[in-house]
Amino acid sequence: MAISYSLTSLSKTLNPSLHKPSTICNLLKTPHKTHLTPTLNLLKPPPLSLLFTTHIAKFKPKSKSNLIPIRCLFTGIVEEMGRVQYLGSAADGGFTMKILSKTVLEDVNLGDSIAVNGTCLTVTDFDTQSAEFTVGLSPETLRITSLVELEPGSVVNLDRALKPSTRMGGHFVQGHVDGTGEIVGKEREGDSLWVKVKTSPELLRYIVPKGFIAVDGTSLTVVKVFDDEGCFNFMLVDYTQQNVVIPLKKIGQKVNLEVDILGKYVERILSSGFVNPIKSS
């Protein structure tokens, strides 16, 4: 009875108009039709991936009135790899994730921003004795990022927000994931690793050879862009392989992508017609 009540409460939280608790499907409105598996393992709560559509999200440039203000920045230099302890529903009806870590808790405060696999999340609780911290998750975050694929035991990249005194070792990363990509190739060359990622055309247009990109929050340099395949690739040196989660992922798994914000600003300026008045003057 307790498990049945939990599933019913979760479905009502996501869609109050849902009247059939026996079938959890179409709980959230997404751009595409989704059909979720009705058979659930009643011995444990269903993974969140059953409740959200995971696909290569299309990046839609925001209008001027809806631009997200920059409240914090990250470098894309992963500080440590944490381990997911819990990912699921919260007591208040939302979603929460608890992560085991050490380094990022050294000076943590409630309300701090920590990038988890490149997704800027807010610390809602922490315990330095047990080396754990908790972040809240919105349905939209789970829809647009690859966090929905995580489960207890999953390893994640962690990066604290940039301080004015911190060296900028990577590039400007906002933690605002633009969409996801799918790993389609991995190939070794010496002790380095080539990784090839496929993504949507809406994101690929902002990706350029030798340009920056954040993959699961890791600041990386694009090597080549394959427009005909909808892919790009990058190389990980041995040290990076030992300190980020990308090499642990298999072909077919998703990664969070955040393109270089400078490219989006340039596009915005050019599309606004601001350049023409400058030329005429």
10 in a domain, yes or no? no
CA torsion sign for 198, 203, 208, 214 is negative
In a domain, 104, yes or no: yes
Tokens 């299309």 appear where?
58
The whole-number average pLDDT for the span 234-253 is 96
Confidence grade of residue 46 (pLDDT, cut at 50, 70, 90):
low
3-state secondary structure 75-116: CCCCCEEEEEEEEEECCCCCEEEEEECCHHHCCCCCCCEEEE
CB atoms inside a 10 Å sphere around CB 24: 21
Q: How does residue 17 score in pLDDT terms, banded at 50, 70 and 90?
A: very low
Look at the block and give the residue holding tokens 């002790």. Answer: 191
Lowest mean pLDDT among 29-33, 85-89, 180-184: 29-33
C-alpha dihedral over 178, 184, 189, 191, to 10 degrees?
60
**Residue 184 falls within a domain, yes or no?**
yes
Average pLDDT, the chain: 79
- Decide: 13 and 19 in contact? Cβ < 8 Å: no
The CATH number of the domain holding residue 159 is 2.40.30.20
pLDDT value of position 137: 93
Query: Is residue 243 in a domain?
Result: yes
- Whether residue 140 is contained in a domain is answered as yes
More confident residue, 189 or 25: 189
> So what's the pLDDT on residue 280?
55
**Structural domain harbouring 110:** 80-266
H helix runs in the chain, sequence order: 2-14, 139-144, 201-204, 238-243, 261-271, 275-280
pLDDT at 268: 87
Inside any domain, residue 6:
no
DSSP 27: -
Which residue would you say has higher pLDDT here, 84 or 171? 84
Residue 236 CB burial class (10 angstroms; 0-12, 13-18, ≥19): buried
Which helix (H) or strand (E) segment holds residue 257: the answer is strand 254-259
- The residues, ordered by sequence, that sit 6+ positions from 9 with a Cβ below 8 Å of its Cβ are 89, 93
Does 30 map to a domain? Answer: no
Which amino acid is residue 162, in one-letter code?
Answer: L
Domain count along the chain = 1
Does residue 208 lie in a domain region? yes
